[in-house]
Structure 1
């Protein structure tokens, strides 16, 4: 157990003995009276290391989907649907109305559920705030993702709860005096022509123009002496601006406080792992599932099945390893490790793995192959410390050892030059120049998982996969084995349908 207490406030962290009390607000949900939160007060409570990491990973899954949706230019309804699905599974946040229905005992139980949900939401936000405060780029991405998540919560909240939340805040919005409003009537109606009939009953508030850049960009607001005049009914833009500006300031303060933090040594690897995942816009979670046939029975892979399976269903990183192995009859250490664990996770038994690698290293003598035999068995947890090593996720592959001369491991979208990547896309997948341009644009923006997901969509279009489908239901590529399984399942389904 340890106590959270890291804020973005100037001067570092609050006292470890500090306990923050919130008003009851009359609904029995203190210290979390509302589903909405501006995250202004850091959590000061005891949680386990496991909760610290798991809650942050769950939130990261939601933020990763948000960033993926933005990178793929998905519409707001599509983004909302993605957030809804992922949040329901990993970060549920229900409205107060849930606890107001049913019997008294049932309401009490639901109240406790709401408190648990909001505690997780509160803590996970601040944990990821630490992980994302390390660089300007991470802060920018976190700010966008969290603002989008807040917008989803705001738009899906009940009107009465939104109004109660607003009354609890101290937003500095200055009302535009009536005489000023009449003075600039012509300019205001030019921006809001639909107000012509109701103008005298409308009211406006003024905020610094840079707090509502979305409205300024779309010319949906009158700007006067550095302030934007906004109809009070357009609360969404105002609230989002308050949330974004407040979080941005807190992130900058947290970044300055990070070097002075004396956190538990157990937490630093966790924060490093979280920030690594956040850089990629994808989490590294993956649950192994065996390849199955049309009857639903698990497939036992053999050495003979590996090459055709990889060439037809594996992502570009594994295809590149296999093509290099077929051409050179050898792979260097990191490449062998990456490929061996991938094949193991797919379901290749160790006996068949030894057959596959011995055939592939055909130019070696049996004595030369002995050390490789040991390393292969080691990856299966049968030698040395007998650790059952997992297959490498996209996060690990992209952030791990970069390939040097003659090395072929890593992620082609991350480590290939633009020319080499374009050539690989043409050679292996026959992707058109127009589609390549879209993929390369994602790569240049650092969205490697988006580029790989788009390749999956293009190469499985004949099986009914369309833009935005991803591996299925909008899922982005986060693991080579998951890519391969999704491709295999599509092929099996096509066989069944035929």
Structure 2
């Protein structure tokens, strides 16, 4: 487990943490993470390595919630890994493999700290990490995989020819082709180590031993990885009270542990204004909301139009969303003034104009505030928040139909959406709504907002929706032209 300590003997080491590592080389792409790291890392590297890994684990959990096939899950996971946590083979040229494997190693151990603190978090972390290991195992080069297996003692017993011939008929009966029997290799382990193979009747059992053919050898490896990680997570949890004394890490770990709730969004840089190559004006917001906004922002817009007001949290959440959408400060003042049409100009200027300018970094400490991500909206507990989490089931169903019915969502879609909501996968529900309402643009189930990714930011949802609409308009113009 981690050994965290302040290093303040020099100016360079301040603000850094130290973590243990026995041995600095990473000979294999596959890793059981037996030994924790020991080297200085900045707080930024500590957090970034974990966030990039968490993006992948969150998408793995989303894949399970969306009932993706194994091949679909493997494709999406591999794509996410290439984007956020590349891990090239030992034969790859032109890449710093040592740096890649160091980042992978560090991120895993940081997430152990975040996810060891409850039984539920440990269960979800182990399941996602085991899936990630399986994907890497299956996509690893055969020579490197064999090298990794040879480097560890998996405590299996190779079945010799005499024993193999003794149980020839029994072994062949377990889906082994007779013509390949002589070339097949078998390994003997206690049956409790391969419960999945026993359950699927894939192995011959004798005297408490399971005879595992080489083609099913991976089951032993996966089970060993899972058991190893479960044990280490429990050991890490016993050290957490001491780690909680480090005030630098508490907020980071709390934020990471929320990662499965809403996925992990990257910092938003693109905006629909870039897609449209034109500024967003105040009078355009009504039309954009009806066509492109996710449910959280459409709900805020509808409440604003109905009540002519929003509470402080609602104004902040919706105002920052509109800012990133491409609404300038001048247009934002016009939009909010028209929305608050039941008050005088003097009241508006005193109560709201300063806050609007402040959100654009023109007042106060002049910070450029980003729009709220799904994770921030879900965990804030404020009003209006995320409809998928905060609405009652009945209200959510009726709102979904009334809001997105014109865009193709039907009552038959509600069962699947509500199932993911009840499972706590709120961003998965939002992603499925996006797929359904953009099917006319060629979006299919499982596509998400592109490449299988789930929605993790309201502006991300809106940008992709507007991008698809623009592509359709251009295509129609080409046909007519």
For the criterion TM > 0.5, the same-fold answer is yes
1:412 to 1:135, Cα distance in 2 relative to 1, 3 A: same
Residue 139 in structure 1 maps to residue 118 in structure 2: no
Question: 1:98 aligned to 77, 81, 92, which one?
Answer: 92
Residue 283 in structure 1 maps to residue 264 in structure 2: yes
Cα distance in structure 1, aligned partners of 2:293 and 2:207: 58
1:258 to 1:234, Cα distance in 2 relative to 1, 3 A: same
Q: Structure 1 stretch 52-61 or stretch 359-368: which is displaced more?
A: 359-368
Q: CA deviation at 1:268?
A: 2.0
Give matches, 1:4-43, under 5 Å: 5=3, 20-21=22-23, 31-43=25-37
Give deviations 1:41-81, integer Å, cap 9, x for gaps.
00111111111111111111222222222222222222222
1:300 to 1:17, Cα distance in 2 relative to 1, 3 A: closer
Q: CA deviation at 1:83?
A: 2.2
Cα distance in structure 1, aligned partners of 2:154 and 2:245: 33
Cα distance in structure 2, aligned partners of 1:311 and 1:20: 57
Residue 48 in structure 1 maps to residue 42 in structure 2: yes
Question: 1:150 aligned to 133, 145, 163, which one?
Answer: 133
Question: 1:301 aligned to 270, 280, 286, which one?
Answer: 280
Give deviations 1:79-115, integer Å, cap 9, x for gaps.
222222222222111112226xxxxxxxxx75xx111
Question: 1:66 aligned to 60, 66, 83, which one?
Answer: 60
Look up the SS of the partner of 1:61 in the other structure.
Answer: helix
Give matches, 1:202-213, under 5 Å: 202-213=184-195
Q: Structure 1 stretch 38-47 or stretch 202-211: which is displaced more?
A: 202-211
Cα distance in structure 2, aligned partners of 1:60 and 1:74: 19
Give deviations 1:361-412, integer Å, cap 9, x for gaps.
1222334322122222222222222222111000000011243xxxxx1111
Matching residue of 1:13: none
Give deviations 1:465-490, integer Å, cap 9, x for gaps.
11111112212100001101111111
Cα distance in structure 1, aligned partners of 2:261 and 2:199: 28
Give matches, 1:104-123, under 5 Å: 113-123=96-106
Cα distance in structure 2, aligned partners of 1:285 and 1:141: 22
Q: CA deviation at 1:332?
A: 1.4
Q: CA deviation at 1:170?
A: 1.5
Cα distance in structure 2, aligned partners of 1:263 and 1:82: 38
Cα-Cα RMSD: 2.4
Matching residue of 1:240: 222
Matching residue of 1:494: 472
Question: 1:360 aligned to 321, 336, 339, which one?
Answer: 339
Give deviations 1:231-267, integer Å, cap 9, x for gaps.
1342211111111111111112212221232664222
Structure 1, unmatched stretches of 5+, are: 7-15, 22-29, 100-108, 404-408
Whether the 8 Å contact between 2:137 and 2:145 is mirrored in structure 1 is yes
1:171 to 1:311, Cα distance in 2 relative to 1, 3 A: same
Q: CA deviation at 1:439?
A: 0.4
Q: CA deviation at 1:137?
A: 2.1
Question: 2:212 aligned to 230, 252, 272, which one?
Answer: 230
Whether the 8 Å contact between 1:286 and 1:479 is mirrored in structure 2 is no
Cα distance in structure 1, aligned partners of 2:161 and 2:69: 38
Question: 1:449 aligned to 411, 427, 430, which one?
Answer: 427
Q: CA deviation at 1:120?
A: 0.9
Cα distance in structure 1, aligned partners of 2:208 and 2:455: 44
Matching residue of 1:268: 250
Cα distance in structure 1, aligned partners of 2:423 and 2:19: 44
Look up the SS of the partner of 1:98 in the other structure.
Answer: coil
Cα distance in structure 1, aligned partners of 2:362 and 2:419: 43
Matching residue of 2:447: 469
Question: 1:397 aligned to 377, 384, 399, which one?
Answer: 377
Structure 2, unmatched stretches of 5+, are: 5-17, 477-481
- How many residues align? The count is 459
Matching residue of 2:9: none
Q: CA deviation at 1:300?
A: 1.1
Whether the 8 Å contact between 1:209 and 1:226 is mirrored in structure 2 is yes
Question: 1:167 aligned to 141, 150, 154, which one?
Answer: 150
Look up the SS of the partner of 1:398 in the other structure.
Answer: helix
Look up the SS of the partner of 1:97 in the other structure.
Answer: coil
Relative to the length of structure 1, the TM-score reads 0.86
Give deviations 1:332-374, integer Å, cap 9, x for gaps.
1211111111111111111211221121112223343221222
Cα distance in structure 1, aligned partners of 2:244 and 2:386: 35
Cα distance in structure 1, aligned partners of 2:232 and 2:147: 24
Q: Structure 1 stretch 307-316 or stretch 352-361: which is displaced more?
A: 352-361
Residue 86 in structure 1 maps to residue 80 in structure 2: yes
Matching residue of 1:9: none
Whether the 8 Å contact between 1:138 and 1:278 is mirrored in structure 2 is no
Q: CA deviation at 1:169?
A: 0.4
Matching residue of 1:11: none
Q: CA deviation at 1:322?
A: 0.9
Q: CA deviation at 1:305?
A: 0.8
Relative to the length of structure 2, the TM-score reads 0.89
Cα distance in structure 1, aligned partners of 2:325 and 2:462: 8
Residue 128 in structure 1 maps to residue 111 in structure 2: yes
1:17 to 1:135, Cα distance in 2 relative to 1, 3 A: closer
Q: CA deviation at 1:184?
A: 5.3
Matching residue of 2:15: none
